[in-house]
């Protein structure tokens, strides 16, 4: 037992020593027989976009013939590829963990690791006694730990690591364990496009028995059983304990104990705003202090629309771009100017080391329950994390108390010139006769000596604006005031984050009296210090909260019941909630403009419920709400529903009157709906209205914030049991605001929605969703309300398979509208081999500029990654998208026909066309047509188009075959510094034939063109056209070895410049596999380039593929060796020699322990 626990603790502790390197070689190459439609290809998850399948002849299998579940590493193929004797080649890259599925203890005598290419034969070793399971017989383990290094004469030594461990089982005497420890070297945030979030970097360990559990690593803190005065949810890293104890002889007396000690991942924030007409997003979110550029912690968000909690997923309600903090709504959730949106989330903020402590004790005995809870969240002011404070900055924070709006500090550090940093010069300028001292971005070593920090202060409140140009970093530009009004939104000041302390203690008791009566009392004490550097304003840090509630049930019979209740909730001025405890729109219902923090409140309520079987429910309630600031309000509300055999009805309404020292307001709202079956359809009617009348306390004139609206909706829908489903609805709404003290029409809106889905063997599967909206504003009076707008949201889906699979077709078409952000991007340096881009100083000035980064041709040059950041401008756009995939396979229909039919059946064609577009066309047909626009048109703001067609004869034959492929891609984006357009077109033809049993000859010809057009970076504009031809011969013996050699000729020319070149390449590749022992892969190429034109240009780098004119050579060898049942060793060596004599060597080595 001690041994197991020690090993378990070692595994847990090892997770805290995380390296920052990347796994050396995650490339997999295999040979498979595709004899079933679903095949698991690996024990690790596949990196999306890396998987490729090749026919035995060497030509690539179109992606339309298969699909991949990257998380489970499962390959699903079409009937066309099924074969019992053909050996397909597959290559892909893997993550260092499996994101889904079950994990089992490894049995080497039965199978080899899918991660190593050891062949199909099992070599049995005599290592003496069988290996003892790592954590004992009762524990199942799986995964691996990898450590390695890479080095070379063109890079520094880089440490690499990867960890992927799963374990589960029983230690002894019912003590169980489960865990998953994974370390992703490159920090990745999962995409917020699915309902389930897959975590790339997770540490989790749980040891438990029937009555207790201990969790460590990435855990959640939730304030369950802590009463109604506290509501906490935190994603944290730490240690948690949960225990349930039975006191006495029965289970009616239980004691629950929960505790946690952790470090939180982020900070809580709440954004509340209205949607925009015809804008599905993205909507950009901000932090608790108004921070503009934040990263949301994946899966932490809760999104409400009109009080309804939404679901994440591109097939549900919304998607979230966590790295950019952008929220986009799908076609299932139409957004307009009346939509009320609330988003609660956690975002990454680590100015200080922050600690969470939580403890809860809850006892239930018979009809009595009591609880005690403590929660603490505190910043370590002497443990800064992302923020280093000077003594002067600390003194500033100490002087402002809790007034954090004053926590700004002028930040202009005098530093030596550094070409890799964004620096400024300090200078004077005169505008309209007024002299100003300003900062200006400079790359001059003589005057660029100031490093500045800029903070967003609000539009029209600053002197600087973002200036996205050539510099590799964020630059700000001074703009002169106009008529005394500031024109910028940023200032060279730094917002200082003050360390905070938030603590709460709660206690409560609830007693059941009889069968239907209950009384409870709760108390909470809060201690909130918004600035622990300062002793000022500390008199309001402590606060108290009290809650008393009583309910009573009067049962008339077994089907009917009356419930009555009352509650009183009161807080002192200093009390602060940790997180929100009220319903989503509490402030709106009480006509309160600012979010409440919990202090100085008093809420008294009375309510009565009536229930009858499952057919009737009704509630009537009266509430009185007061704030210590002088606000007081009264509310009456009613809600309920009735379900009859023919008619069902629901209602929800309230009316309130509130007043404070300045205003008095009456607010009423009502929602009532009914549904009636009519023949084979259901008719539903829904009516809604809201009325908010605000006056000065002693006045009788309506104020500008007053409003009124009413809405009616009618819908016809088929029952869910129908095979063909459909629903159509019409909604009419009118909005009013006061104008000259009279209710005046603001605008009318009409919405028509249709949704249907049908399935038929003859027609196919059809899905349709259409939403059409017209907004007619009264813009003759309300000038700022906007103009008349028509909005169309559409999605059409279709799929069909005819004639036994002769033709398979699937497609979709979408229309919508939203915003297109003008994002900015920069390049950030990382260890060699872990990046994507390389920097080439084309102009020789030693300054990194955005037009000098290229996709690296070799791993030792890949030292930079591209970081996209939100820009300040958002452009209104219309969106459309179209996709069509087809597969023509005569063999599926002509299997039993004659010779000519079988000959025709050898032909097949796969086609895929996907295009999405964003534009600013006013004309509907132009805005909704994804096909006919010139991408250089300035009204086209975004474009992504991909077309691929593959026509093949004898696709699966090793003896002879022909394939012709057309590939065309076009992409356009508009960063803040102007548009970028990239295109690629290629025509490729393959011919292969087998000579005997072991030799395959393959010939490929290609015509290609590629182009780049940049609005700002003229030097990047090029159009390369060329042609290439490749011939290779491959020998595959009966053993585990293959040998290939070939020749490639390539000619290319830049038609927009003077660059032109011809290359000749000879290559040899050898693959050897020693079953059960080792594998060797070696490849060498000799490249002779002749080139004319400017060598230091993006076109030249593309044409030469990172090499030089003249004679070049590249080589690579990888050796994998199994040392024992649990250890593998891999060594690699690669290099290249350039025509100018430069030789680059790169070596890699890694060891892997398998569980």
Whether the predicted pLDDT of 830 surpasses 60: yes
> CA 182 to CA 143: how far, in whole Å?
9
Q: Return the minimum-mean-pLDDT range out of 107-121, 827-841, 943-957.
A: 107-121
Write the Ramachandran bin of 740: left for phi over 0, alpha for psi from -120 to 50, otherwise beta. left
The reply to whether the predicted model has a pTM over 0.85 is no
**Given pLDDT bands bounded at 50, 70 and 90, which one contains residue 603?**
very high
Max CA distance (Å), the chain: 102
Q: Tell me the mean pLDDT in the region 557-570.
A: 90
Confidence at residue 192, expressed as pLDDT on a 0 to 100 scale? 61
Contacts of 941 (CB under 8 A, 6+ apart): 820, 875, 877, 918, 919, 920, 972, 974
Q: CA 299, CA 317: separation in Å to the nearest integer? A: 15
At 120, the pLDDT band (50, 70, 90 cuts) reads very low
Residue 261 domain flag = no
Neighbours of 590 (CB within 10 A): 20
Q: Is 861 strand, coil or helix?
A: helix
User: Same domain for 242 and 286?
Assistant: no
Name the domain count of the chain. 3
pLDDT in the model for residue 193: 59
Q: Which pLDDT does position 333 carry in this prediction?
A: 92
Query: Which among 899, 962, 886 has a CA at the least distance from the CA of 80?
Result: 886
* pLDDT beyond 90 at 70: no
pLDDT band at 909 (very low <50, low <70, confident <90, very high): very high
244 with 138, same domain: the answer is yes
| pLDDT attached to residue 670 | 96
- Edge-to-edge, what's the strand order for the sheet holding 302-305? 267-274, 340-347, 302-305, 308-309
Long-range contacts of 474-479 (CB under 8 A, 24+ apart): 474/422, 474/824, 474/826, 474/869, 475/422, 475/441, 476/441, 476/452, 477/440, 477/441, 478/429, 478/436, 478/438, 478/439, 478/440
Sheet strands (E) in 43-154:
52-54, 66-69, 74-77, 88-93, 139-152
Looking at residue 958, its pLDDT comes to 79
Residue 989's closest CA among 971, 969, 964? Answer: 964
Measured distance CA(978)–CA(938) in Å, rounded? 10
- For residue 852, is pLDDT > 80? yes
Degrees to nearest 5, angle at CA 880 with 875 and 882: 150
In a domain, 214, yes or no: yes
Cis ω on the peptide bond leading into residue 282 (within 30° of 0)?
yes
User: Worst-scoring range by mean pLDDT, 109-118, 504-513, 672-681?
Assistant: 109-118
DSSP 124: P
pLDDT more than 90, % of the chain: 43
Same domain, 216 and 339: no
Choice among 946-950, 1014-1018, 1122-1126 with the minimum mean pLDDT: 1122-1126
Of 462, 495, 528, at which residue does a domain stop?
A: 495
Q: Residue range 187-216: average pLDDT?
A: 71
1081-1112 pLDDT, tens digit per residue, is 999 999 999 999 999 899 999 999 999 999 99
User: Long-range contacts: 637-641, Cβ < 8 Å, 24+?
Assistant: 640/610, 640/616, 641/616, 641/617
Alpha-carbon distance of 621 to 630, in angstroms, equals 23
Q: Which pLDDT band, with edges at 50, 70 and 90, does 107 fall under? A: very low
Compute the distance between CA of residue 1132 and CA of residue 747 in angstroms, rounded to an integer: 70
Query: Is the pLDDT assigned to residue 346 strictly greater than 70?
Result: yes
In a domain? residue 1029: no
Please report the pLDDT score of residue 102 as a whole number.
39
> What is residue 110's predicted lDDT score, i.e. its pLDDT?
33
**The tokens of 1026 are what?**
């060329």
273 and 242 within one domain:
no
Last residue of a domain, one of 461, 495, 529: 495
Q: Is residue 306 part of a domain?
A: yes
| pLDDT at residue number 1037 | 77
Kindly give, in sequence order, each residue whose CB lies less than 8 Å from that of residue 132, ignoring residues fewer than 6 positions away. none
Same domain (yes/no): 451, 335:
no
Higher pLDDT, 248 or 814: 814
199 pLDDT more than 70: no
Torsion of CA 958, 962, 963, 964, to 10 degrees: 170
602 three-class SS:
strand
Residue 814: Cβ-neighbour burial (10 angstroms; 0-12, 13-18, 19+): buried
Is residue 104 located within the same domain as residue 138?
A: yes
Same domain, 123 and 197: yes
**Domain identity same for 243 and 294:** no
Q: What is the pLDDT of residue 186?
A: 52
Tell whether 202 and 70 lie within a shared domain: yes
99 and 58 both lie in a single domain: yes
Structure tokens at 566: 């009352």
Return the closest-CA partner of residue 562 out of 519, 606, 612, 515: 612
Residue 24 lies in a domain: yes
- What is residue 11's three-state secondary structure? helix
Domain that holds residue 239: 2-225+234-248
Task: Give every CB contact of residue 251 below 8 A, 6+ residues apart in sequence.
Answer: none
Closest CA to 265 of 226, 302, 295, 291: 295
As a residue count, the chain comes to: 1155
pLDDT of residue 623: 97
Structure tokens at 987: 């025509």
Question: Does the residue 122 lie in any domain?
Answer: yes
pLDDT score for 843: 87
Q: Name the nearest CA neighbour of 184 among 61, 347, 298, 32.
A: 298
| Average pLDDT along the chain | 84
Query: Is residue 180 domain-shared with residue 282, that is, in the same domain?
Result: no
pLDDT at 620 (0 to 100): 97
End residue of a domain, out of 495, 513, 529: 495
Asked, for residue 939, whether it belongs to a domain, the answer is no
Q: What is the mean pLDDT of residues 361-386?
A: 90
Kindly state whether residues 168 and 24 are assigned to the same domain: yes
The DSSP 8-state label assigned to residue 64 in this structure reads: G
Q: Residue 9's pLDDT is what?
A: 40
The reported pLDDT for the residue numbered 711 is 96
- End-to-end Cα spacing for the chain: 20
Residue 533 belongs to some domain of the structure: no
Q: What is the pLDDT of residues 632-663, one digit of tens each?
A: 999 999 999 999 888 999 999 999 999 998 89
pLDDT at 276 over 60: yes
Tracing tokens 């998987």 back to the chain, one arrives at 51
Give the residue, 432 or 1088, on which the prediction is more confident: 1088
């Amino acid at each position: 037992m001690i041994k197991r626990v020690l090993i378990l603790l070692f595994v847990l502790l090892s997770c805290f020593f995380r390296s920052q390197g990347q796994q050396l070689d995650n490339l997999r190459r295999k040979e498979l027989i595709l004899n079933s439609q679903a095949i698991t290809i690996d024990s690790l998850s596949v990196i999306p976009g890396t998987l490729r399948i090749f026919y035995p002849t060497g030509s690539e299998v179109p992606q339309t013939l298969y699909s991949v579940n990257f998380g489970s590493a499962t390959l699903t193929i079409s009937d066309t590829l099924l074969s019992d004797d053909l050996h397909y080649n597959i290559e892909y890259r893997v993550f260092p963990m499996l994101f889904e599925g079950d994990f089992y203890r490894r049995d080497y005598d039965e199978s080899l690791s899918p991660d190593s290419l050891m062949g199909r034969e099992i070599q049995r070793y005599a290592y003496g006694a069988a290996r003892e399971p790592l954590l004992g017989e009762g524990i199942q383990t799986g995964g691996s730990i990898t450590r390695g290094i890479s080095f070379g004469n063109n890079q520094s030594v880089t440490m690499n690591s990867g960890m992927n461990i799963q374990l589960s089982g029983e230690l002894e005497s019912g003590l169980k364990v489960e865990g998953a420890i994974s370390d992703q070297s490159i920090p990745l945030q999962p995409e917020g496009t699915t309902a389930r979030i897959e975590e790339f970097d997770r540490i989790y360990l749980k040891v438990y028995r029937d009555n207790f559990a201990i969790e460590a690593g990435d855990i959640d803190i939730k304030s369950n059983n802590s009463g109604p005065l506290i509501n906490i949810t935190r994603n944290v890293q730490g240690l948690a304990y949960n225990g349930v104890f039975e006191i006495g002889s029965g289970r009616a007396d239980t004691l629950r104990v929960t505790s946690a000690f952790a470090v939180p991942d982020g900070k809580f924030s709440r954004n509340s705003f209205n949607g925009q007409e015809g804008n599905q997003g993205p909507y950009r979110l901000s932090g608790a202090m108004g921070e503009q550029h934040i990263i949301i912690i994946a899966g932490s968000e809760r999104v409400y629309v009109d009080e309804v909690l939404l679901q994440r997923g591109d097939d549900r309600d919304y998607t979230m771009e966590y790295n950019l903090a952008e929220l986009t709504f799908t076609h299932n959730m139409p957004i307009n100017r009346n939509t009320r949106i609330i988003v609660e989330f956690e975002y990454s903020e680590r100015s200080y080391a922050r600690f969470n402590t939580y403890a809860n004790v809850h006892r239930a005995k018979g009809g009595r329950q009591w609880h005690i809870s403590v929660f603490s969240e505190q910043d370590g002011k002497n443990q800064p994390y992302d923020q280093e404070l000077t003594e002067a900055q600390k003194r500033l924070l100490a002087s402002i108390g809790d007034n954090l709006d004053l926590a700004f500090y002028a930040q202009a550090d005098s530093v030596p010139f550094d070409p890799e940093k964004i620096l400024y010069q300090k200078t004077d300028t005169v505008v309209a006769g007024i002299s100003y001292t300003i900062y200006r971005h400079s790359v001059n070593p003589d005057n660029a000596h100031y490093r500045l920090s800029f903070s967003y202060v609000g539009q029209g409140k600053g002197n600087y604006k973002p200036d996205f140009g050539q510099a590799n970093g964020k630059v700000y530009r001074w703009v002169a005031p106009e008529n005394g009004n500031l024109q910028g939104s940023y200032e060279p000041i730094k917002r200082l984050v003050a360390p905070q302390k938030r603590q709460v203690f709660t206690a409560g008791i609830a007693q059941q009296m009889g069968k239907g009566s209950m009384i409870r009392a709760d108390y909470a004490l809060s201690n909130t210090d918004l600035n622990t550097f300062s002793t000022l304003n500390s008199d309001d840090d402590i606060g108290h909260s009290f809650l008393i509630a009583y309910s009573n049930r009067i049962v008339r019979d077994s089907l009917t019941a009356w419930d009555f209740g009352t509650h009183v909730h009161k807080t002192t001025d200093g009390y602060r909630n940790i997180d929100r405890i009220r319903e989503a729109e509490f402030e709106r219902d009480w006509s309160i403009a600012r979010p409440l923090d919990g202090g100085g409140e008093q809420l008294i309520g009375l309510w009565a419920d009536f229930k009858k079987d499952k057919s009737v429910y009704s509630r009537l309630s009266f509430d009185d709400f007061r704030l210590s600031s002088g606000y007081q309000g009264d509310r009456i509300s009613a809600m309920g529903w009735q379900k009859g055999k023919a008619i069902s009805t629901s209602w929800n309404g309230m009316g309130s009157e509130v007043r404070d020292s300045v205003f008095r307001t009456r607010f009423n709202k009502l929602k009532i709906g009914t549904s009636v079956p009519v023949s084979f359809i259901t008719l539903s009617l829904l009516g809604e209205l809201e009325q908010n009348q605000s006056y000065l306390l002693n006045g009788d004139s309506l104020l500008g914030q007053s409003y009124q609206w009413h809405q009616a909706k009618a819908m016809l829908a088929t029952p869910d049991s129908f095979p063909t489903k459909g629903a159509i609805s019409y909604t009419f709404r009118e909005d009013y605001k006061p104008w000259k003290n009279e209710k005046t029409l603001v605008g009318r809106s009409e919405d028509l929605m249709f949704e249907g889905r049908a399935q038929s063997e003859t027609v196919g599967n059809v899905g349709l969703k259409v939403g059409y909206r017209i907004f007619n504003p009264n813009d003759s009076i309300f000038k700022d309300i906007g103009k008349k707008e028509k909005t169309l949201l559409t999605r059409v889906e279709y799929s069909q398979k005819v004639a036994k699979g002769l033709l398979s077709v699937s497609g979709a078409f979408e229309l919508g509208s939203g915003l297109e952000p003008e994002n900015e991007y920069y390049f950030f340096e990382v260890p060699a081999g872990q990046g994507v881009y390389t920097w080439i100083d084309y102009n020789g000035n030693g300054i990194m500029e955005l037009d000098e980064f290229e996709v690296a041709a070799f791993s030792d040059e890949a030292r930079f990654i591209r970081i996209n950041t939100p820009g300040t401008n958002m452009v209104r756009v219309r969106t459309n998208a179209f996709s069509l995939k087809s597969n023509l396979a005569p063999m599926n229909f002509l299997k039993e026909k004659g010779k000519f039919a079988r000959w025709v059946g050898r032909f097949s064609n796969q086609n895929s066309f996907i295009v999405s577009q964003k534009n600013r066309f006013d004309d509907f047909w132009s805005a909704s047509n994804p096909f006919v626009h010139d991408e250089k048109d300035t009204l086209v703001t975004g474009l992504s188009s991909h077309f691929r067609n593959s026509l093949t004869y004898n696709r699966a034959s090793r003896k002879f075959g022909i394939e012709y492929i057309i590939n065309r891609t076009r992409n356009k984006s508009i960063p803040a510094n102007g548009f970028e357009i990239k295109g690629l077109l290629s025509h490729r033809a393959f011919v292969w034939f087998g000579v005997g049993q072991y030799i395959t000859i393959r010939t490929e010809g290609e015509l290609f063109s590629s182009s780049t057009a940049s609005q700002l970076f003229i030097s990047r504009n090029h159009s390369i056209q060329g042609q290439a031809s490749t011939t290779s011969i491959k020998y595959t013996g009966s053993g585990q070895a293959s040998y290939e050699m070939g020749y490639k000729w390539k000619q290319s020319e830049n038609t927009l410049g003077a660059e032109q070149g011809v290359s000749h390449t000879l290559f040899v590749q050898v693959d050897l596999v020693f079953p059960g022992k080792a594998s060797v892969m070696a490849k060498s190429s000799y490249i002779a380039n002749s080139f004319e034109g400017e060598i230091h240009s993006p076109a030249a780098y593309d044409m030469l593929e990172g090499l030089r004119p003249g004679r070049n050579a590249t080589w690579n060898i990888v050796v994998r060796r199994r040392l024992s049942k649990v250890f593998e060793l891999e060594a690699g060596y690669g290099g290249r020699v350039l025509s100018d004599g430069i030789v680059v060597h790169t070596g890699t080595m890694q060891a892997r322990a398998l569980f």
